Chains A and B, each alone.
Chain A
Amino acid sequence: MKHLRAVNKKARRIDQMISSRNDVVALQQQQQRPHVPMGCTLSFSPGWEVDSAGGTAGLCQPVERDIYDCYVTCFWPAQVPDHLNNYPDWASKCAAATKDWRKLDLVFP
């Protein structure tokens, strides 16, 4: 915050120390996440088959709730057809994927 300034000797010494070295990041570090091995898909990023903790509790349930946003953003192009480049009409006949998933088009890569 720009408006914070040192008002006593100790604070000024901390200020000088901080400005003379790189940022202190220890307190900001997040809890280490588990290693998630690559599954049967090609993406290294968890989120589709497993969540970032290696389980499934963090995924949308049922999975069809989330299928369109994964499709549109091309984030998991190996698991879901990609909307932008190859399969723009994959979901054009299916308004609600959770209810009408049988209307999703077939994809033959």
Chain B
Amino acid sequence: MKRISSIKPQALRLISCLAITLLGNAAHAGILFMGAYPNSLLVFDEDKGAVVERIPLTTGLPTSLKLSMDRKTIYVTTNDHSGIEVVDVATRKVTNHFVLNTDTKHFRFNGGTPDPSGTLFYTLTTEIDKMNDRYEIGKPKYTVIDLTQQKIVKTFDLAKEEETAMGGGGGYRTGFEISKDGKYLYQFGTKVVILDTKDFKVVDRMDLAKPELPGLESVGFGSALDSLSEPGQHISVFNAADPYVHNRIFGIGRFDLETRQVDFTPVGPAPQGMTGLQVAPDKKDAFTVVANGQQGNKRCEFWHFDLSSNKVTDRSEFACKSRFSFGMSKSGKKLYIYGASFEIEVYDAATMKYEKTWDLNNDITMAGLIEVE
């Protein structure tokens, strides 16, 4: 008591401020979950700059990750046997896992999202039947998987328009989002298609396409590459074209998933390639990567958006690889270039300049990364 009473009030204030600052930093320490070869999830601590844990997946190689609305659960699809694994973020343990493949029946996933209750998983699957003398590959279907029963409980055919417009399968990079009440499922591909989850009838279609970046690593869950996916909201960059001269423009689209309201603000001519939008926690600053040119002539730039005015405020060129994915730290202060390798290149978001490279010592898959605090 004597020692405490001897500390001056100013010093106490300083100590308490320091403690608050430290606790604040600790609370914002980001943890990244990444799919890794051959069959695990890497848990990466942003503060330490190191892999702190590895979560083994019994069903095989992770191809896509999706965070639940409450940010407590990660849903992983694996492709060895068309498996699904459910990972608890807090304990970093697999709480449920199963496979869909049988000896004569295989499936391929294309995108997916859990329903808000976490009991169902909506996805697009292609069924492959092994016959005596051949394989028969079915048409892609909307599929409802019951995570408790660990099996497919319903499938629905795609509407003709989706079959033809999306190349028969929703495109290579289909992403799904769901409204908070679970009534509407949003499919983001070459168009935005809104589906009623009761019968998978199309409620609405919008001529907004997710831009693609040649060489961008595919993520089966689509919006995993967009950092802001708060329940009920979806913000990203989209391409659109007028019906006459097909002049392609890109802009920022804001979706209210509950009311199905869309606000699309054109920004400028569509670049050749573009990644998803990474939105900082302040919801004001956002970043994307734009690529123009091909092969050895490809040039990549970070673009910084001010979402309050929907304008590009800054650009910075960086040396990009042939294939990569783009991400952002939980704090919004670092930009990540990763994928097709065992490294994460770290750029400072304020200056958009290269800072360092983290060596994961393990190749990571195309599943993308998920950040949690």
List chain A positions with a Cβ less than 8 A from chain B: 1-2, 4, 14-15, 18, 24-25, 27-28, 51-53, 55, 57-61, 65-66, 68-69, 72, 83-84, 88, 91-92, 94-99
- Name B245's contact: one of A24, A57, A88, A99 (CB within 8 Å): A24
- Name B37's contact: one of A4, A15, A28, A68 (CB within 8 Å): A68
- Name A2's contact: one of B36, B63, B207, B297 (CB within 8 Å): B207
B295 & A57 in contact (Cβ 8 Å cutoff) = yes
Chain A at the B interface: mostly helix, strand, loop or mixed?
A: loop
B243 & A4 in contact (Cβ 8 Å cutoff) = yes
Chain B: CB-nearest residue to A54: B295
A18 & B322 in contact (Cβ 8 Å cutoff) = no
Chain A: CB-nearest residue to B322: A60
Residues of B within 8 A of A52 (CB): 294-295
List chain B positions with a Cβ less than 8 A from chain A: 36-39, 60-61, 63, 79-80, 206-207, 215, 217, 240-247, 294-298, 321-323, 340-342, 360-363, 365-366
- Name A51's contact: one of B241, B295, B363 (CB within 8 Å): B295
Residues of B within 8 A of A27 (CB): 245-247
A86 to B192, CA, bound (A): 37
A69 & B340 in contact (Cβ 8 Å cutoff) = yes
Residues of A within 8 A of B38 (CB): 91-92, 95
A60 to B215, CA, bound (A): 10
B295 & A55 in contact (Cβ 8 Å cutoff) = yes
Asked if A95 meets B37 with Cβ closer than 8 Å, knowing A60-B322, A66-B322, A88-B80, the reply is yes
A14 to B243, CA, bound (A): 10
Asked if A83 meets B61 with Cβ closer than 8 Å, knowing A69-B340, A98-B342, the reply is yes
Nearest-CB distance from A108 to chain B (Å)?
20
Asked if A24 meets B246 with Cβ closer than 8 Å, knowing A61-B322, A66-B323, A96-B363, the reply is yes
Nearest-CB distance from B184 to chain A (Å)?
19
Asked if A72 meets B361 with Cβ closer than 8 Å, knowing A58-B294, A60-B340, the reply is no
A51 to B207, CA, bound (A): 31
Residues of A within 8 A of B361 (CB): 95-96, 99
A27 to B296, CA, bound (A): 25
Residues of A within 8 A of B321 (CB): 60, 65
Residues of A within 8 A of B36 (CB): 95
Residues of B within 8 A of A99 (CB): 342, 361
Residues of A within 8 A of B341 (CB): 65, 98
Nearest-CB distance from A107 to chain B (Å)?
16
A65 & B295 in contact (Cβ 8 Å cutoff) = no
Nearest-CB distance from B252 to chain A (Å)?
15
Nearest-CB distance from B114 to chain A (Å)?
24
Asked if A72 meets B340 with Cβ closer than 8 Å, knowing A1-B240, A95-B362, the reply is no
- Name A14's contact: one of B244, B246, B294, B365 (CB within 8 Å): B244
Chain B: CB-nearest residue to A60: B322
B363 & A95 in contact (Cβ 8 Å cutoff) = yes
A61 to B217, CA, bound (A): 16
Nearest-CB distance from B300 to chain A (Å)?
13
B365 & A68 in contact (Cβ 8 Å cutoff) = yes
Nearest-CB distance from A96 to chain B (Å)?
4
- Name B363's contact: one of A24, A58, A68 (CB within 8 Å): A68
Asked if A58 meets B61 with Cβ closer than 8 Å, knowing A65-B340, A95-B37, the reply is no
Residues of A within 8 A of B37 (CB): 68, 91, 94-95, 97
B323 & A69 in contact (Cβ 8 Å cutoff) = yes
Nearest-CB distance from B11 to chain A (Å)?
49
18 extra interface residue pairs, beta carbon distance < 8 Å, beyond A18-B244, A96-B342, A96-B360: A1-B240, A2-B206, A2-B207, A27-B246, A57-B297, A58-B295, A58-B296, A58-B298, A60-B323, A60-B340, A66-B322, A66-B340, A69-B217, A84-B79, A92-B39, A95-B363, A97-B37, A97-B363
Asked if A1 meets B242 with Cβ closer than 8 Å, knowing A68-B37, A72-B61, the reply is yes
Residues of A within 8 A of B79 (CB): 72, 83-84
Residues of B within 8 A of A53 (CB): 294-295
A104 to B273, CA, bound (A): 34
Residues of B within 8 A of A84 (CB): 79-80
A28 to B246, CA, bound (A): 7
Q: Which of B38, B240, B295, B363 has the most CB of A within 10 A?
A: B363
B322 & A55 in contact (Cβ 8 Å cutoff) = no
Chain A: CB-nearest residue to B240: A1
Residues of B within 8 A of A2 (CB): 206-207
9 A-B pairs within 8 Å (CB atoms) are namely A1-B240, A27-B246, A52-B295, A55-B296, A88-B60, A91-B38, A96-B361, A99-B342, A99-B361
